[in-house]
Amino acid sequence: MSVEAIRRAIRDIPDFPVKGILFKDITPVLGDAALFRAAVDLFAARHAGSRVDVVAAIEARGFLFGAAVACRLGTGVVPIRKKGKLPYKTVEASYELEYGSATLQMHVDAIARGARVLVMDDLLATGGTASAGAGMIRDAGGEIVEIDFLVELAFLKGRERLAGWPVFAPIVF
């Protein structure tokens, strides 16, 4: 299964979640076992043999890829969630989206000092979400191995916001 097959399965949803946004819907990839497996295999193969201590998965679609990749790599998963969704003491970071603002949280003890962390989310747009998550990991003493996305919307220049951290996205629009 090729990256191009995964790319072809991603559909455009105009005016979602707000008017003027062209949403890249990955649910057809998730719903097709072969495509989903190919996407997970792509990330897992990229990090096989490298030392990743934990995968930090960003809510919500990042959970899907992050958990599957962590399982393949034999690591744990750290959920990075929207504010108010975690039960224990948290650290947080706020950021701007292309259509609003939000706050992410992570448990205060989620990242061990010196841990090598792979950050995963489904899509890189403005980079605000990933930057907020990576910043919390850095502040906790973690080392970002890479920040991985299935899709990058290059015209929104999110990669620039993540300068200083390695970024990987096999599908770029």
- Of the candidates 71, 2, 10, which has an alpha carbon nearest to the alpha carbon of residue 39? 2
| 39 assigned to some structural domain | no
pLDDT tens per residue across span 88-101 = 999 999 998 766 78
Of the candidates 59, 61, 81, 152, the residue annotated as catalytic is 61
How many domains would you assign to the chain? Answer: 1
Mean pLDDT of 152-163: 96
Q: How many CA atoms lie within 13 A of 88 on its CB side?
A: 7
Greater model confidence, 141 or 101 = 141
Q: Are strands 100-107 and 90-97 parallel, antiparallel or unpaired?
A: antiparallel
SS3 4: helix
| 64 assigned to some structural domain | yes
CA distance 93 to 103: 6
pLDDT tens per residue across span 113-134 = 999 999 999 999 999 999 999 9
| 105 assigned to some structural domain | yes
CATH number at residue 166: 3.40.50.2020
Is residue 159 among the annotated active site residues?
A: no
Is residue 8 among the annotated active site residues?
A: no
Domain that holds residue 95: 50-172
**Measured over all CA atoms, what is the biggest interatomic distance in the chain, rounded to whole angstroms?**
44
pLDDT score recorded for residue 100: 74
Specify the long-range contacts of residues 108-114, CB closer than 8 Å, at least 24 apart.
Answer: 108/140, 110/56, 110/78, 110/140, 111/54, 111/56, 111/78, 111/137, 111/140, 111/141, 111/142, 112/53, 112/141, 112/142, 113/140, 113/141, 113/142, 114/141, 114/142, 114/143
| 32 assigned to some structural domain | no
| 19 assigned to some structural domain | no
What pTM was estimated for this model as a whole?
0.95
pLDDT tens per residue across span 20-71 = 989 999 999 999 999 999 999 999 999 999 999 999 999 999 999 999 999 9
pLDDT score recorded for residue 98: 64
| 40 assigned to some structural domain | no
Of the candidates 4, 8, 37, 98, the residue annotated as catalytic is 98
pLDDT score recorded for residue 97: 75
